[in-house]
């Protein structure tokens, strides 16, 4: 039985817990800022959560429109998934990774069979803990399969994590700058970011233009990536996010990946799809790549597969890349890979997704939310563009010309939402937003997939207030 949030707060006294001032002093003295964001001077303390809301010490509800960077896709304290964690905790919470447990095997089979039905390839699933670690494992798979090739293609605006290997294929130099030379840094390719692309083209024409620009790298040996005499590329794989996450939820033209995949196939380059943020129904399908009509050679997942509970991530790859004769025991290792708590919750997540038509509900909610964002765009000049697919939505915050990026206003809106003083009717709310985009001026919306229509309308009302305040400041 869930504990009511109000009840949880009622049992506390001022002497039973430290004050926020005391906690901030301890944090300042003893906590590294390197493992947290600290983009604001005083990050918010939260003490409770439920559904689409997190709560501060006073019990003020903050409507969360980013859900832990799309990790908590099925709502905070989801009763069914929490119950799965409790059951596993009482039965087999830990076991060394050289042994087997039922949940790991059944989960791998569900994911692999689903992928085979959708992509047409038999494959296997390899587990780890976090998204960056799964990306690292996929890099090992690719480098091993291609005879040690260490160079990759990736997109401008792409984000794949902050371990050393993942940083090498993430386009932001600021994630690499302090850590020396990255000799295996990816070659970054233009992503069809239509709102800020060349004018005078349709979205599909721009997608075709970007593919042709990439294809020109293979026209002659002097482009530096292709040996036409041997018919071999220096590059092993292309790492993609079908919809860019940290890059600002940029949604490409529907023709783009079909055309890109042909270029890759023609030159023996693998396609690795990063579904860590967009996977597990964020876009109305289990994997966002399903919208775009191509089959990957490998697919990386994490985050929402456990609804943000015990961490679990993984890689699905085609049999040729991952079978035990080519990728034998000990090829990678993590103590907590395929941990029973994570696999048990993920297995329950997958079973839950099979029982209902999540996709249709998410697309309907996403269309309602996007329509509301378009109405806000009409009323507020500082909104440059809105777009979305399923419940992955974006809003560009600009200057009054509706185009020039305005990071300062975006940052101000995030801080203003965290004050917890927005009024709808007789109630007071806060609003949790996330910042993304090439210019850090995009609100990336990743709400609870079980969000109600009433909560979507509340979100739109709160956003309307924030935009009005921002225009007047």
206 in a domain, yes or no? Answer: yes
322 in a domain, yes or no? Answer: yes
Q: Which of 355, 387, 420 is the last residue of a domain?
A: 355
Q: Which of 298, 329, 355 is the last residue of a domain?
A: 355
Residue 362 sits in the same domain as residue 244? no
Per-residue HEC secondary structure of the chain comes to CCCCHHHHHHCCCCCCCCCHHHHHHHHHHHCCCCCCCCCCCCCCCCCEEEECEEECCCCCEEEECCHHHHCCCCCECCHHHHHHHHHHHHHCCCCCCCCCCHHHHHHHHHHHHHHHHHHCCCEEEEEECCHHHHHHHHHHHHHHHCCCCCEEEEECCCCCCCCHHHHHCCCCHHHCHHHCCCCCCCEEECCCCHHHCCCCCCHHHHHHHHHHHHHHHHCCHHHCCEECCCCEECEEEEEECCCCCCCCCCCCCCCHHHHHHHHHHHCCCEEEEECCCCCCCCCCCCCHHHHHCCCCCEEEECHHHHCCCCCCEEEEEEHHHHCCCCCCCCCCCCCCCCCHHHHHHHHHHHHHHHHCCHHHHHHHHHHHHHHHHHHHHHHCCCEEEEEEECCEEEEEEECCCCCCECHHHHHHHHHHHCCCCEEECCEEEEEECCEECCCCCEEEECCCCCCCHHHHHHHHHHHHHHHHHHHHC
Q: Which residue has the tokens 């979305």?
A: 388
208 in a domain, yes or no? Answer: yes
Per-residue model confidence (pLDDT) at position 35: 86
Assess whether pLDDT exceeds 50 at residue 1.
no
108 in a domain, yes or no? Answer: yes
Residue 21 sits in the same domain as residue 159? no
Average pLDDT of span 171-179: 95
Residue 311 sits in the same domain as residue 392? no
User: What band does 12 get if pLDDT is binned at 50, 70 and 90?
Assistant: low
Q: Which residue has the tokens 């305005």?
A: 406
Average pLDDT over the chain, rounded to an integer:
95
Per-residue model confidence (pLDDT) at position 5: 63
User: What band does 40 get if pLDDT is binned at 50, 70 and 90?
Assistant: confident
Q: Which of 302, 333, 355 is the last residue of a domain?
A: 355
| pLDDT per residue as tens digits for the range 297-309 | 999 999 999 999 9
| pLDDT per residue as tens digits for the range 449-462 | 999 999 999 999 99
Residue 467 sits in the same domain as residue 327? no
| pLDDT per residue as tens digits for the range 93-134 | 999 989 999 999 999 999 999 999 999 999 999 999 999 999
User: What band does 140 get if pLDDT is binned at 50, 70 and 90?
Assistant: very high
76 in a domain, yes or no? Answer: no
- Cα(37)–Cα(311) distance, rounded to whole angstroms? 19
Residue 399 sits in the same domain as residue 349? no
CATH number at residue 257: 3.40.640.10
Residue 42 sits in the same domain as residue 166? no
Per-residue model confidence (pLDDT) at position 10: 53
Residue 41 sits in the same domain as residue 128? no
Domain that holds residue 29: 5-66+358-472
The reported pTM is 0.95
How many domains does the chain contain in total?
2
């Amino acid at each position: 039985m869930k504990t009511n949030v109000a009840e949880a707060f009622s049992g506390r006294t001022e002497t039973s817990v430290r004050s926020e001032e005391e906690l901030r002093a301890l944090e300042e003295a003893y906590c590294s800022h390197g493992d947290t964001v600290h983009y604001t001077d005083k990050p918010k303390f939260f003490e409770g959560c439920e559904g689409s809301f997190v709560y501060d010490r006073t019990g003020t509800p903050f409507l969360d429109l980013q859900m832990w960077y799309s990790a908590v896709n099925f709502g905070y304290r989801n009763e069914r998934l929490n119950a799965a964690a409790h059951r596993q905790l009482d039965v087999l919470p830990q076991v060394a990774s050289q042994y087997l447990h039922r949940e790991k095997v059944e989960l791998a089979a569900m994911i692999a069979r689903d992928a085979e039905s959708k992509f047409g390839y038999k494959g296997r699933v390899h587990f780890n803990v976090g998204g960056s670690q799964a990306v690292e494992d996929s890099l090992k798979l690719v480098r091993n399969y291609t005879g040690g090739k260490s160079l990759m293609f990736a997109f401008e605006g792409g984000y794949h994590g902050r371990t050393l290997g993942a940083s090498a294929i993430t386009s932001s130099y600021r994630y690499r700058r302090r850590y020396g030379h990255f000799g295996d840094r990816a070659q970054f390719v233009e992503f069809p970011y239509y709102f800020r692309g060349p004018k005078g083209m349709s979205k599909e024409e721009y997608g075709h233009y970007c593919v042709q620009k990439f294809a020109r790298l293979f026209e002659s040996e002097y482009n530096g990536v292709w040996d036409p005499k041997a018919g071999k590329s220096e590059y092993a794989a292309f790492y993609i996010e079908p919809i860019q996450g940290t890059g600002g939820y940029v949604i490409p033209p529907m023709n783009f990946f079909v055309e890109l995949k042909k270029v890759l196939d023609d030159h023996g380059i693998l396609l690795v799809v990063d579904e860590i943020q967009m996977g597990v129904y964020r876009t109305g399908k289990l994997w966002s790549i399903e919208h775009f009509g191509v089959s990957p050679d490998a697919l990386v997942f994490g985050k929402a597969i456990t609804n943000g509970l015990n961490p679990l991530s993984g890689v699905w790859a085609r049999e040729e890349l991952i079978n035990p004769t080519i990728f034998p025991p000990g090829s990678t290792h993590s103590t907590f890979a395929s941990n029973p708590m994570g696999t048990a919750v993920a297995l329950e997540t997958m079973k839950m997704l099979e029982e209902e038509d999540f996709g249709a509900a998410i697309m309907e909610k996403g269309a309602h939310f996007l329509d509301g964002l378009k109405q806000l765009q009409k009323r507020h000049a500082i909104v440059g563009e809105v777009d979305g697919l399923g419940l992955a939505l974006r809003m560009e915050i600009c200057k009054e010309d509706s185009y020039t990026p305005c990071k300062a206003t975006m940052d101000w809106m995030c801080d203003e939402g965290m004050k917890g003083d927005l009024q709808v009717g007789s109630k007071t709310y806060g609003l949790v937003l996330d910042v993304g985009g090439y210019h850090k001026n995009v609100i990336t919306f990743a709400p609870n997939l079980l969000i109600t229509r009433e909560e979507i309308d509340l979100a739109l009302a709160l956003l309307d207030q924030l935009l009005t305040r921002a225009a007047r400041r």
